[in-house]
Amino acid sequence: MRLEDLQPNAAVRGILPDQLVTVVSVQWFGSQALELTYKRPSGRVANELLYRPDEPRLEVVEQGRPWSFVGSGRFYPEEEKERLSDGSERCTNTSNPTTTFVDFVTTKTWP
């Protein structure tokens, strides 16, 4: 990874141990150094000076969220919920409480 890859909203690994940070802004000092302003997962904003020798420890993670939604988008009547019960998480459709949305899958387990 090159320092030029650090762009606002990028998720970066290697700034904090075992945590991703989100780039808020980048201010260059010549072509060999920059000040990175980033947001920790807790929401706290911090700064760090980075130099070319720091590049190997940094990784821009694929843009997007650390979770994903996979589903058909189909809704089923409440009566079918029992028949379709297969361990998938379910989310009740608040606009029509007699319908249950199925096929909701996350790729991350939340505490």
pLDDT digits (tens, 9 = 90+) for 55-82: 999 999 865 455 545 555 555 555 555 5
- Give which of 51, 49, 101 is closest to 75, Cα–Cα: 101
Q: Give the number of domains in the chain.
A: 2
Residue 22 counted as domain residue:
yes
pTM of the complete model = 0.56
Q: What is the pLDDT of residue 16?
A: 94
Measured CA to CA, the distance from residue 43 to residue 65 in angstroms comes to 15
Range of the domain at 89: 68-111
Residues 74 and 108 in one domain: yes
Residue 1 counted as domain residue:
no
Residues 79 and 39 in one domain: no
Residue 111 counted as domain residue:
yes
Contact of 39 with 22, CB cutoff 8 Å:
yes
Residues 14 and 57 in one domain: yes
Residues 74 and 110 in one domain: yes
